[in-house]
């Protein structure tokens, strides 16, 4: 006697099914349309294959293309397997390793056979074609449970060293699954998969690039070839995605930086930025803004040396831990050897003293703190610096303004007592919030917890982590709205850190702000204050930044606004463009009035047609274009063409000046002028 399975569906109904039946059977029982549309099934919350039999009574939700997140994950995973199968079909002897789904597609790491060169982008079209062939063949994907020993034997027999290595590390006795594609190819995989390769849309994927990647992400392991693809449910989605990529490329800060004449980079100073007048104007506005913010919240600004004796860096611990990322210079006048035939080179004397360029400002700030005697009554002391630092980053890491070797932080260190930590961190959360809101960013707050390699006792870490948690809770940000999340193992070796991740206009995230509670450096550099009891105590040192670095933050702003910066940040806020040269006099008058009102304005008196001027300044992303012709000159008005708006507005000059003055007011000053 068999007992029927009770399968509950999302609409609340319950279906009775024969034992051994699967979600596919339920779908078929409901209707042929659903049976065709179903891609996989959510059984008691777990995504499973459509034709994997039920284990018992279950709650079932069938997944179709309408359940986009689940469906995308499924098809991308399938594309990854298909990719691996295609590569092996085309290039026998290729070893396969891993191939997960990604945010927009999938990849698979493979090792080309020794007999041929590593794969290159030239191989991609052939692989794509093979994948389409496999989709067309509509090979059934079949799940099978294997023993670990069988799996290892299979991989070793096939010469799949990486797979075998992985299988050997899987726990003994665990149920391991493989998926057959047809009956001639298989990969070990937890699944789930679609019922057959034919469920994939042959026109909804594209192999995009080839890259190197270390086996298991470890630099000391062999390097594999990673083949990336983007994969979607249908052709339309793929097309949309490719379009989005093009749009993102258009707002690339490196491209816009050149087009808008903001900055440049060149070989002789790679990783350091040459700021041009327009780009540096953005910087100056940001710096002035940040100074106002910090002045208003109890920070005092200092300036500390760029070069310090290496002995100082030894004491702070950086020379031991961080030397490979530091630039060092001999403390001497270089003697250039001009006698030899070869190129003249400075010579360094053997006993030269070495100095290092600061990779961070913290030690110098402790040194300032240590001057004189500090009473607990003086705490907290907040020392800020627009600190220019140099770090010798791995060359492959450099990227436009986003990762550079010379950068300036909006840095500050808060020296406070144990009791003051939570309040100081809370106040920082508020300050950071007000800054990000002023730029129109939304953000997530994350807490990076103790890493494996770390200084200090467990008790200290417990305490330090809890302080940050408490402070964020008090600021009302430890919740979903602020994307609150804890990241185990991601903290610095000396302290846990709070991180602010901005989300830009096209959904990318950027880590910028941070605050860290440090008890190690004050100890190493012997910073103390005199407490209420007359004894010496260690202050806690909070490292914090909001922009992170000016370079990076400007890069993010450029991409976020696609170059169309808010008026207060725009390097040129308005251009006055006369239509005919008879009006040059009036144009200069308009320019003078705007200048007097503090507006960054230029007039374009070139002998060019107005169409040409409009086009040029629009492309240059000037927020306001003041067009003046005979009519305006007679009436004392201006025709304002605002970037991004279709209609122009004609208004009296005085009114226009007032309007622009208000538009150009930085957000932190807006309330006072309103």
Site string for RNA, 356-385 (x = CB under 7 A): ---xx-------------------------
**Helix, strand or coil for residue 113?**
coil
Q: Candidates 85-93, 172-180, 294-302, 315-323: pick the segment binding RNA (CB under 7 A).
A: 315-323
CB of 607 to RNA, least distance (A): 4
Which CB, 190 or 609, lies closer to RNA? Answer: 609
Q: Can you tell me the distance from the alpha carbon of 484 to that of 470, in angstroms, rounded to the nearest whole number?
A: 13
Question: For residue 519, which of 461, 472, 449, 580 has the smallest C-alpha distance?
Answer: 461
314 binds RNA, rule: CB under 7 A: no
How crowded is residue 59: how many other Cβ atoms within 10 Å of its Cβ?
A: 14
- Which residues inside 588-607 make contact with RNA, applying CB under 7 A? 607
CB of 601 to RNA, least distance (A): 17
* CA of residue 140 relative to chain centroid, distance: 39
345 binds RNA, rule: CB under 7 A: no
Q: Can you tell me the distance from the alpha carbon of 102 to that of 209, in angstroms, rounded to the nearest whole number?
A: 14
Distances (CA, A) of 484 to 10, 472, 504, 511: 31, 9, 18, 14
611 binds RNA, rule: CB under 7 A: yes
Which CB, 250 or 631, lies closer to RNA? Answer: 631
CB of 131 to RNA, least distance (A): 20
């284990």: which residue's tokens? 55
End-to-end alpha-carbon separation of the chain, Å?
82
Among 141, 167, 639, 663, binds RNA (CB under 7 A): 639
Packing angle between helix 124-136 and helix 68-90, nearest 10 degrees?
A: 110
- Which residues inside 12-51 make contact with RNA, applying CB under 7 A? none
Q: 637: left (phi > 0), else alpha (psi -120 to 50), else beta?
A: beta
615 binds RNA, rule: CB under 7 A: yes
CB of 123 to RNA, least distance (A): 10
| Contacts of residue 200, Cβ cutoff 8 Å, sequence gap at least 6 | 75, 78, 79, 82, 135, 194
**Helix, strand or coil for residue 148?**
helix
336 binds RNA, rule: CB under 7 A: no
Q: What angle do CA 215, 221, 222 make, to 5 degrees?
A: 75
Which CB, 13 or 115, lies closer to RNA? Answer: 115
Among 494, 547, 550, 553, binds RNA (CB under 7 A): 494
| Contacts of residue 160, Cβ cutoff 8 Å, sequence gap at least 6 | 95, 96
Q: Can you tell me the distance from the alpha carbon of 136 to that of 344, in angstroms, rounded to the nearest whole number?
A: 66
Q: Can you tell me the distance from the alpha carbon of 98 to that of 188, in angstroms, rounded to the nearest whole number?
A: 10
Total residues in contact with RNA, by rule CB under 7 A: 65
CB of 430 to RNA, least distance (A): 24
Q: Candidates 10-18, 282-290, 395-403, 592-600: pick the segment binding RNA (CB under 7 A).
A: 395-403
The secondary structure of residue 196, as a DSSP letter, is: B
Please give the structure tokens belonging to residue 357: 């360029």
519 binds RNA, rule: CB under 7 A: no
Q: Which residues are catalytic?
A: 362, 391, 409, 411, 413, 497, 543
509 binds RNA, rule: CB under 7 A: no
Length of the chain: 674
387 binds RNA, rule: CB under 7 A: no
Which CB, 156 or 393, lies closer to RNA? Answer: 393
403 binds RNA, rule: CB under 7 A: yes
The secondary structure of residue 375, as a DSSP letter, is: B
187 binds RNA, rule: CB under 7 A: no
320 binds RNA, rule: CB under 7 A: no
Helix (H) or strand (E) holding 377: none
**Contact predicate 111/222, CB 8 Å:** yes
Among 60, 515, 579, 663, binds RNA (CB under 7 A): 579
Which CB, 591 or 632, lies closer to RNA? Answer: 632
244 binds RNA, rule: CB under 7 A: no
Q: Which positions lie near RNA, rule CB under 7 A?
A: 118, 120-121, 209-214, 217-219, 223, 225-226, 228, 254, 258, 265, 267, 270-271, 318, 321-322, 325, 359-360, 391, 393-400, 403, 492-494, 579-582, 607-612, 614-615, 618-619, 625, 627, 629-632, 639, 641, 643, 648
């Amino acid at each position: 006697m068999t007992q029927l399975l009770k399968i509950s569906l999302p609409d609340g109904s319950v279906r009775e099914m024969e034992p051994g039946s699967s979600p596919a059977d339920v779908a078929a029982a409901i209707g042929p349309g659903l049976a065709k549309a179903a891609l996989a099934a959510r059984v008691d919350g777990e995504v499973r294959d459509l034709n994997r039999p039920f284990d018992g009574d279950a709650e079932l939700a069938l997944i179709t293309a309408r359940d986009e997140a689940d469906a995308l994950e499924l098809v991308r995973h399938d594309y990854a397997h298909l990719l691996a199968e295609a590569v092996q079909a085309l290039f026998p002897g290729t070893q396969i390793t891993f191939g997960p789904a990604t945010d927009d597609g999938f990849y698979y790491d493979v090792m080309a056979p020794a007999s041929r060169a590593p794969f290159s982008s030239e191989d991609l079209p052939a692989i794509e074609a093979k994948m389409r062939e496999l989709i067309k063949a509509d090979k059934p994907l079949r799940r099978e449970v294997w023993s670990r020993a069988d799996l290892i034997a299979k991989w070793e027999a096939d010469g799949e060293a990486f797979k075998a290595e992985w299988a050997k590390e899987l726990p003994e006795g665990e149920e391991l699954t493989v998926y057959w594609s047809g009956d001639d190819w298989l990969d070990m995989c937890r699944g789930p998969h679609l019922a057959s390769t034919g469920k994939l849309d042959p026109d909804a994927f594209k192999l995009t690039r080839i890259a190197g990647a270390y086996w298991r992400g470890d630099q000391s392991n062999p390097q594999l070839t990673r083949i990336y693809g983007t994969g979607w449910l249908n052709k339309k989605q793929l097309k949309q995605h490719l379009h989005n990529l093009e749009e993102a490329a258009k707002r690339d800060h490196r491209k816009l930086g050149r087009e808008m004449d903001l900055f440049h980079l060149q070989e002789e100073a790679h990783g350091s930025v040459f700021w041009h007048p327009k780009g540096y104007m953005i910087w100056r506005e940001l710096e002035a803004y940040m100074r106002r913010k910090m002045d208003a919240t109890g920070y005092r600004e200092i300036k500390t040396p760029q070069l310090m004796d290496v002995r100082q860096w030894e004491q702070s611990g950086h020379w031991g831990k961080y030397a490979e990322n530091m630039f060092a210079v001999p403390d001497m006048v270089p003697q250039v050897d001009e006698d030899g035939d070869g190129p003249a080179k400075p010579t360094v004397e053997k006993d030269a003293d070495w100095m290092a360029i600061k990779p961070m400002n913290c030690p110098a700030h402790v040194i300032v703190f240590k001057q004189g005697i500090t009473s607990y009554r003086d705490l907290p002391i907040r020392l800020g610096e627009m600190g220019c630092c140099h770090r010798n980053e791995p060359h492959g890491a450099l990227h436009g303004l986003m990762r550079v070797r010379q950068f300036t932080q909006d840095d500050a260190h808060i020296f406070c007592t144990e009791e003051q930590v939570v309040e100081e961190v809370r106040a920082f959360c508020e300050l950071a919030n007000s800054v990000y809101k002023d730029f129109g960013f939304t953000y997530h707050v994350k807490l990076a917890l103790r890493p494996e390699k770390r200084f200090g006792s467990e008790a200290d870490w417990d305490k330090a982590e809890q302080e940050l948690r408490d402070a964020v809770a008090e600021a009302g940000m430890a919740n979903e709205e602020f994307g609150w999340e804890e990241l185990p193992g991601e903290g610095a070796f000396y302290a846990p850190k709070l991180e602010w991740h901005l989300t830009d206009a096209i959904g990318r995230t950027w880590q910028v702000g941070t605050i860290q509670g440090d008890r190690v450096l004050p100890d190493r550099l012997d910073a103390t204050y005199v407490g209420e009891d007359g004894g010496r105590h260690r202050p806690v040192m909070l490292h914090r930044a909001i922009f992170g670095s000016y370079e990076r933050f400007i890069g993010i702003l450029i991409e976020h606004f696609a170059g169309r910066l808010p008026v207060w940040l725009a390097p040129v806020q308005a251009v006055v463009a006369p239509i005919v040269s008879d009006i040059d006099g009036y144009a200069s008058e308009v320019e003078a009035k705007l200048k007097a009102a503090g507006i960054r304005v230029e007039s374009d008196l070139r002998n060019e047609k107005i169409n040409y001027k409009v086009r040029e300044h629009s492309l240059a992303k000037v927020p306001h274009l003041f067009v003046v012709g005979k009519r305006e000159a007679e009436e004392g008005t201006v025709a304002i063409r605002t970037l991004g708006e279709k209609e122009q507005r004609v208004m009296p000059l005085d009114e226009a000046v007032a309007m622009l003055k208000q538009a150009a007011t930085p957000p932190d000053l807006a309330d006072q002028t309103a």
